[in-house]
């Protein structure tokens, strides 16, 4: 099958052995009209996170990955789980802990921050090893809060395995 491109008027074809696979998070509600249009035109196959498609990183990461998604399912819903697509490339490249740390800080923590925006009590349950308490100066305290939280930085987390395995906020 071929089509003529509207601007260049060139012919465009896709080989028969090429499959186009698009991904879309069910949490992307702001593009619901696009979602509806796509669902009318294409076949959709739900693909939940698969632990066997994430690299081990030398720390049994599949268990950590599964535990993280269990917490997210309980605190939010099943549609907000972290997909294996964040880690799938690493599975086939024998990636190490440094690649995991980069993915974790540049993709996973920002996503969790969006999911649990300003809900530090839930974030402390989901990723306790990546949160730190900040003491607020006395002049800025109010009667409701005497400390605030934020994520630890990339450099503050020296032992990623320990931070990923931490069960309770300290």
109's CB contacts (< 8 A; 6+ apart) are: 127, 130, 151
**pTM of the full structure:** 0.74
Question: Measured between alpha carbons, how far is residue 130 from residues 6, 52, 169 in Å?
Answer: 49, 25, 9
Question: Computed from CA positions of residues 68, 81, 91, 93, in that sequence, does the dihedral angle turn out positive or negative?
Answer: negative
Per-residue pLDDT, averaged over 145-160, amounts to 88
Q: DSSP assignment, residue 84?
A: G
Query: Given 3-state DSSP classes, what are the helix, strand and coil percentages for the chain, each rounded to the nearest 5?
Result: 45, 10, 45
Q: Tens digit of pLDDT for each residue in 43-54?
A: 778 889 999 999
User: Position of tokens 């080989």?
Assistant: 15
Is residue 34 over pLDDT 90? no
Q: Distance of alpha carbon 142 from its chain centroid, rounded?
A: 34
Burial group, residue 81, by CB count within 10 angstroms (0-12, 13-18, 19+) = buried
Question: Which phi and psi (to 5°) does residue 138 adopt?
Answer: -50, -40
User: Position of tokens 């599964």?
Assistant: 66
Per-residue pLDDT, averaged over 50-73, amounts to 94
Count, residues in the chain:
170
Per-residue pLDDT, averaged over 100-111, amounts to 96
CA distance 111 to 73: 15
pLDDT at res. 29? 60
């Amino acid at each position: 099958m071929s089509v003529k491109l509207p601007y260049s008027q060139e012919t465009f074809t896709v080989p028969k052995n090429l499959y186009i696979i698009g991904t879309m998070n069910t949490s992307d509600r702001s593009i619901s009209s696009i979602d509806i249009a796509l669902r009318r035109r294409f076949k959709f196959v739900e693909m939940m996170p698969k632990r066997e498609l994430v690299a081990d990183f030398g720390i049994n990461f599949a268990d950590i990955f599964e535990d993280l998604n269990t917490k997210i399912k309980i605190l939010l819903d099943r549609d907000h789980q972290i997909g294996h697509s964040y880690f799938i490339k690493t599975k086939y490249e024998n990636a190490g802990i440094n690649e995991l740390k980069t993915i974790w800080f540049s993709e996973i923590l920002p996503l969790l921050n969006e999911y649990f925006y300003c809900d530090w009590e839930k974030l402390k349950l989901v990723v306790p090893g990546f949160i730190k308490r900040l003491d607020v100066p006395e002049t800025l305290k109010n009667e409701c809060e005497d400390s605030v939280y934020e994520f630890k930085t990339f450099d503050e987390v020296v032992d990623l395995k320990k931070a990923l395995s931490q069960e309770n906020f300290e």
